[in-house]
Amino acid sequence: YIAAQQFQLILRTHLTDTAARLDAMRRMSDVASSIEDSGTWPVAPDSYDYHMLTVRTAPVPVAVDDSGARDYQLTMELAYRQRG
């Protein structure tokens, strides 16, 4: 039985200039690219094996609050299997 769990990575910035905001998007894109290499994945808990880690949505800005803080979101899905 292979189970799947979707999760989000959210980066909150308090950046006001365009270059800094583009850098935040670049960092999120770097994370998305890095998961293609299973060597970058965290260690699986005892008695579990990771089956697949995939990006479900591209990094996107999702919110701006009154203080100017911006949230960027990347959605991923981890498929795993329990041994035994």
- Interval 20-70: pLDDT, tens: 888 888 999 999 998 888 888 888 999 999 999 999 998 888 998 888 888
Q: Looking at the predicted structure, is the pLDDT value of residue 81 above 90?
A: yes
Please report where in the chains the tokens 């960092």 appear, as a residue: 27
Q: Looking at the predicted structure, is the pLDDT value of residue 17 above 80?
A: no
Residue ranges of alpha helices (H) inside 1-84 are 18-34
Q: Looking at the predicted structure, is the pLDDT value of residue 16 above 80?
A: no
11's tokens:
């980066």
Band of the pLDDT at 77, cuts 50, 70, 90? very high
Q: What is the pTM of this model?
A: 0.77
